[in-house]
Amino acid sequence: MRTRLCLSLIAVGAALAAACTHSPDRPSGTLAQIPPWGLDLKNRDPAVKPGDDFFRYADGRWLDSHSIPEDRARWGSFSELEERSVAQQLELVRALPTAAPEGSNAQKVGDYYRAYLDVAAIDARGLVPARTGIDAISAARNHHDLTRLMGRTDLSLLAPLRVGIMVDQKDPDRYAVSIGQSGLGLPDRDYYLKSDATYTDIRAKYLAHIARVLTAIGEVNPQAEAQGILDVETRIAKLEWPAADRRDRDRTYNPRSRAQLEAMAPGFFWETLLSTYGVDAQPQYVVRELDAVQKLAELFLEVPVDTWRPYFKYHYVVSMAAVLPQAIDTEVFDFYGRTLLGQQVERSRDKRAIAALNGDLGEAIGALYVERYFPPSSKALVGQMVENLRAAYAERLRNLEWMTPATRQAALAKLAAFHPKLGYPDKWRDYSGLSIVAGDAFGNAVRAQVFEWRRQVDRLAAPTDRGEWGMTPQTINAYYNPTFNEIVFPAAILQPPFFDPHADPAVNYGGIGAVIGHEMGHGFDDQGAKSDARGVLTNWWAPEDLAAFKARTGALAAQYDAFTVLPGLNINGRLTLGENIGDVGGISMAYVAYHRSLGGRAAPVRDGLTGDQRFFLSYAQIWADLSKDEYLRRQVLSNPHSPSRFRVNGVVRNIDAWYGAFNVQPGDALYLPPAQRVQIW
C-alpha cells in the first residue's frame, strides 16, 4: 500500500528525497505491547561487552531463561509469533460450523481439519488409501512405466528430475515450465558425501529407517532394498550441484526446446514425462542445473527398475505419512524430526493440522485471520515506513561513490518500481474446484496436491498474476520476488517484537524497518540485482560497477566463511551471500530511515538508552533464538540464511553507527577496522 502522504513515488528525485517523516514522540494513549515503549530490557546481559558479542549482550538473559520446547528444533521470536498465529488459527477453525454449506470454504476447512485429527479412523483404514499408489509402482515393468509414474501428480513422487512451473525470469509476463535436479531423501548432497563420523552415523540411521518403512508396507527384502535406495541416492548426490551454485540465476536459466531436450538426454522418455504432467504443449522448458539434469536423466535409465520401485515406494509413503497409520507417521518423525533436526517430540496433531491446512487451503484461513486479527491501521503505518526506507535507499544510491551515472539511474528506476504488498492479497484464491470430503484425510491431501498442480498448469496459457501472494497472511515471514520486483509482508509479521504502532520509532525501525530494508536489499543483492525494474533477468550494470559490486560482496562472503557454527562446520559465505547482503543493507537503510523519521530533531533518551542504542537492540532482539545442533547442521549445509547469532554479530560489525552507539573499540572481539567494514549500499 502506498502511503497517502507520499503521492509521487514513480519519479525518484525530490519526491523520494522528501519522503514521509513522523514524530518520535507522537502521543499515544496506549502503552506498547512490550511496555512501556516496545523493548524488553530484561533480555539483555549487561555482563557481556557489546563489542565482544552483541547477540549475547542484547539477548543473553533471554537465552539463559528460555529452552527449546520438546516439539521444536529451534525457538525464538519467530517461533513465539508462529505459536501465537497457530493458536489464533485453531480458534478460528474450531469455531467453524460442522454443517457449513457444501462447497463453501468453511466446509472445506472444517472437514479437512476434522478428518486430519481423526487418527482412529486413519489407523482403522491402514494402508488401504496408499495401496493404489504402492501397487501402481509395483506394476512398473520398465523405465517407461516408471517415467509415467513420475508425472502422476496424485502420487507426487520424489524422483531424480523435478518438473515445476514458475514465472519466466526473462519474461515476467508469462509462466514457464522448469526442469531441475531432485531425488535426495537427506537434506543436502553433503549428507551423503562427507566422511565425518557425524554423517556416517546419519547415513546408518537413514538406512535402518528406510528398511523399517519398507517392512511396514510389506516389502519382502527390506534390508537389501534399503541399501539399494541409499546407493542410488548417493549416486544422485554426486551428480547434483552444490546448494551455493544453485543460487546463480544466470546459470540456472537454460531455455531448451523439446528437440533440445531430446538431444540433451537421448533415450529418456521426455514425451511421457511432460505429457503426464500435462505440460507437453510448451514451446520451451527452462532447465535449471543443466549438466546435472542431463546426467540424472542418464542415471535414471542406467539404474535397474528393481532399484527404482522400492525407492519410489519409500518416498511415496514418507510423503503421505501424516495421513497414514500412526506407526508409519511416528517412524518418519523419528528420523526426519528427531535424528535430522534434534526435535524430541512430534508437534500436537491439531498444530500439525493447521500446518497442513496452510499448505492446502492457506488463503481460506487467511481471509478469516485478517478479518479477526489484522487492523487496517497497521497496514497504513507500515506503508509509511516502506516509503521512508525507499527514500533512504534512494539517498544512498544517489551518493554511492563506486557507481557510475548510467548504472545509478537504472538502480533508482528499479527502486522506484518496487511494489509493496502489505498484510494480505487484494483477491483471495478460489478453492471452488477443490473437493474436500469429511472423514477422508488421505484423499483430501491427494486431491489438494492435484488441484494445486492443475491450477498452475491452467495458468500457462494466461499472463502472470502479479496480484498473487507466495505466502499466506498468517505466515511469520516476508519476501522479495525479483521477477515481479515486489516486497511482501504478511499480516502476521506486523506485530511485536517486529512492529507495534504504539512502540518507540527506534524499536519499529530496528525491527520491522530492518526487515523491510532486508527485503528491499534483496532487489540489490548478488542475485536480485540481476533483474531490472520490470523484473527481467538482464544485466543493467556497467562492467566497472559490476566489478566493484563483486569486490564488496566477495569481501562479505569471506567474512561469513570465517564464522564457525559447530566444530568443523563454518558458514558458507557464497550460499548465504544474498541473505547477508540483505541483512547488512537492510539495517543500514533502516538506520537512515529512522533518522529521517525524526524530522531533524534529536531522539529522546529512554531508560538511559539513546535512540541509536534502542535501534540496534531492537534489531538484535528480533533474532533471539536457540537451535539444536542438528538443526544448525542442516541449516548451514542447505539453507541460504545464516544462523541468528551471525545475523546479529556478522551484521553490526559492518555498521559504523553501531560502533559509536556502544563505544566499540579496537581489541573488542567484533571490532573491524573501518577499511574492512563492508558497505555495499
pLDDT over 70, % of the chain: 96
Helix H segments across 95-142?
105-117, 119-125, 128-138
**pLDDT tops 90 at residue 12:** no
CB atoms within 10 A of CB 220: 8
Buried b (16+ CB within 10 A) or exposed e, 154-175: ebbbbbbbbbbbebbbeebeeb
Domains of the chain: 14-23+70-88+353-676 (3.40.390.10), 124-346 (1.10.1380.10)
* Calculated CA dihedral for residues 120, 123, 125, 126, nearest 10 degrees: 180
The Cα-based distances of 330 to 263, 401, 440 in angstroms read 45, 58, 20
Three-class DSSP labels, 244-302: CHHHCCCCCCEEECHHHHHHHCCCCCHHHHHHHHCCCCCCCEEECCHHHHHHHHHHHHH
Q: Give the model's pLDDT for residue 3.
A: 28
* Amino acid symbol at 661: A
Cβ 190 vs Cβ 175: under 8 Å? no
427-480: pLDDT as tens digits: 999 999 999 999 999 999 999 999 999 999 999 999 999 999 999 999 999 999
**pLDDT tops 80 at residue 677:** yes
Q: Where does 391-502 show beta strands of DSSP type E?
A: 419-423, 479-481, 486-490
Dist CA 655 CA 587 (whole Å): 8
Dist CA 590 CA 385 (whole Å): 9
**Averaged pLDDT, 251-269:** 97
Q: Give the model's pLDDT for residue 28.
A: 45
- For residue 325, what is its C-alpha cell? 497409520
Burial classification of residue 2, based on how many CB atoms lie within 10 Å of its CB (0-12 exposed, 13-18 middle, 19 or more buried):
middle
Three-class DSSP labels, 576-613: CHHHHHHHHHHHHHHHHHHHHHCCCCCCCCECCECHHH
- For residue 326, what is its C-alpha cell? 500412526
User: Which residues lie across from 75 on neighbouring strands?
Assistant: 626
Terminal Cα distance for the chain, rounded: 25
* 644 Cβ neighbours under 8 A, 6+ residues apart: 55, 76, 623, 624, 625, 627
Given pLDDT bands bounded at 50, 70 and 90, which one contains residue 1? very low
**pLDDT tops 60 at residue 282:** yes
- Return phi, psi of residue 479, to 5°: -155, 160
From the list 123, 193, 186, the residue with the least C-alpha distance to 314 is 186
**pLDDT tops 50 at residue 667:** yes
Residue in this structure with the C-alpha cell 564488496, named with its chain if needed: 552
**Averaged pLDDT, 380-406:** 95
Q: Give the model's pLDDT for residue 29.
A: 53
599-617: pLDDT as tens digits: 999 999 999 999 999 999 9
475-528: pLDDT as tens digits: 999 999 999 999 999 999 999 999 999 999 999 999 999 999 999 999 999 999
Cβ 536 vs Cβ 173: under 8 Å? no
558-607: pLDDT as tens digits: 999 999 999 999 999 999 999 999 999 999 999 999 999 999 999 999 99
What's 430's DSSP letter?
A: P
18-73: pLDDT as tens digits: 233 333 344 345 789 999 999 999 999 999 999 999 999 999 999 999 999 999 99
Given pLDDT bands bounded at 50, 70 and 90, which one contains residue 17? very low
Helix (H, G, I), strand (E, B) or coil at 415: helix
**pLDDT tops 90 at residue 141:** yes
Dist CA 377 CA 494 (whole Å): 11
Element of type H or E holding 165: strand 161-167
